[in-house]
Structure 1
């Protein structure tokens, strides 16, 4: 540690300044910039994730609404007695069958008013005639898994990926067996969800978004090439985990991504689930934060370069001026007093150079006028004066005053005058406390001790004409206050309030706690002040000069408090003529 201190002291000023610049400016700027950049980047990333989650939630609500409307349409078909009549009616000819199919309006109404529905097809076993809506079940259809499953579920809803019967295009399809009023089997209704509707939902997303059926098949994807494929990014999760909303990091197609998965349970479907997944490439997610990060550091580097160049110019100028001053001092030290009369600049270095020049001229003049022995005589004379000054200082040493007062007190005791001895003792205590005070805050109990000594002296002075009371809330003794903060207030109350009073005077000093403040109140029952005089005194607290220089003590107290504690603290005065005066100090509690 000592070697380090010596090394620092022996460094050139330019190196010290550069080190100070790095420690006080460059390093903090880099650290603060790093912290701010990371914080801003985190905020941007979190906002982007939040926005992506909010958008996905919006798509989820749209998808849920679409699924529910398709389910509602299947309920209407299931409960429609018209379709039962249509399918159980006996027709005389195929033409009557075609005409009955054509006159059934329900499916056309669904396609007109339900934008979520691409098509509806009803598969029936009782007819050999088919059209776009009603399809006769042949042996091939009857053997399909979806048809067998629909019949086995007996009216419960199933969701699957299925080809439309005529176009062979694949759709997310609601499949449901329909029964009549007497529980007779009528057929199976297939409602195909509109891919255009799904496309409008998904394409509003800026990230790859997928609708997945039963964790197994992608129903719709932003990238059409991935449609009807298996979602490999869900392969590592259990059904219990997929029942919850997921947000996780993964590697997908060779890049780091953040995947958000939300589960949707269609109404009245006991076995099927839909998942809505959004895949956000971290590179895309971090593009804006990284750009902000880069811009931030470019700004920091630019500021550092500009400040470093400016600081180097300053150091070079500073070194030049210091070296000029050092060279001139060296010449003066060697007795060469003919230095340049001026240095460029009027700062502290320039002022030091001017003083050096004046000193050199004075020395030159002194050497020219006085002999060497005269200089020696003057040196001896100065030493003698310094000794005399030290002797004079010792004569007024405070300890000398304390000892003198103690000697007087002992004389009073010998002369059997205890009142005088007590008075001198309290005065000695008060002088010691006052003289030993510094500008640093002191404990409240020490300040109150000084006040009590002062009041006891005043009580002895006035006798029965004066009394006092001190009341302090418990727990306030160790709080810090300014030294000599209360004494000028107490003295002012006695001098201006109680001394002019002919009757017995009483002074009350209270110290109490009020929330986070300490309230010190000095109240006297003295002569008080008129309203006009009270206004003058209050105004005098805030000015630097006052009428006849009176009440300087309380003005100093008020202004010291405002400077140290702030504008909310200080001295307030209330007074009534021939009733008394209360001066209140408000200061914050400080340990």
Structure 2
């Protein structure tokens, strides 16, 4: 019986035990718990979000009540009435009256954290505009907000208005018509609230939350990118039914999201504001750690119970497997001197025999691979060092001789400080070429070399050469291989300016985009045909260097690929008679740029 049992395929034994003892109960219990725990997590997150919304609503209401109380006091303020009703004969009388009127200033002092401006618009055209009391002109009278206030019958409205004194800023404004019945005069009170007070309230919330007006303008948010935008740019506002309080589901940023809406309606106001909080469903699930841990404990407990049963069954069925497993563990820990022998004709018996052969082969193969890799690594390192030194040491004598000849001839004609400057730049350029090593340099240092080169060429060619350098500030400290841009600029000058009778221009650009430093050198020269461009690409990727090839471009191309991988290298964009653009990118490591 024992021998027959050993001859049965091990797969059939373990599949039977796993399906009926472990897999079925774990799947049933785990699936049920996962579903129930998700429901609990959603309910708990909703309740917490609603509690947070109520807290934020109360704090926001405290701020919004301040303009309401101030407006109620100003309706009966005799000092304001006196200023507004008086028919002034001279501007000086207005100035004296304003000097004695401190009501608005006092309120701003009391509520300096909440109030930005208090303004009163009046139809008394004998007053002067001091940005607190403002006579109404035709322009103001024709604005929508002023008409709305005049027709509001004393009820207030909340509007997101542009500031008269600073048109670049909008403020949440409390607008209310003030009637002085005894004096048969009226005006419109505008109280502007500081955005910072709402930003402070909302910044204390962990989930994205916004304060929105009736026109769906986002007045304040703990997400800076939302402020000033329309609610439609963040979520589909159509899913929010009217101005009702509730919880809605929608898609925000391509992710399923719960949207919590809490309207804010103040006494005496015709319109209302809304607090809107958005919580991703994924975030809700992540925050339910307690429930997840509870489910994990239950699943582990169920698994352990099942494991006891399968252990009892497998003790008879897999005793030989345990022996084999013990020997395999020794091999897994690096002990290749072990010998495995298990009797039987089933898979375990066959496996033990082949495993002994495999262990012997692995020992021999590891030794061979180790020696091969050691030799290969040493060879590649030496080759790369030689290639880099050869590439970095190359210099174009044609440029050097032409530059020196131009300086000599100009020095014979006239002597001025320009000669000294060009000689200094040339010396700096030569020193940089001589001192270059295998270490990376900052982009700012490389750009100084490029600028020195272009200044020398500008000296040679005069008005025939124009150049421009555009470099992101964020890119200046990024490390790059030395002498990686200057050969591209040299190529652009030679083929874009020197070969063009009318001269030309060169543009050097370095920008940071999507964790990459992108560098490009463009000229407006004669351009390159499609066939010629294909020939250049073939030369760039040749393993062996040939005489007469574009050594500078080839060196830059291969240095980039040696340093950053084959996905980098030079890209050439050009059409005949339309100029040429040579560019490359360097991946930015985390913490740089």
Tell me the TM-score range normalised by the shorter chain: 0.3 to 0.5
Which is higher, the Rg of structure 1 or of structure 2? 1
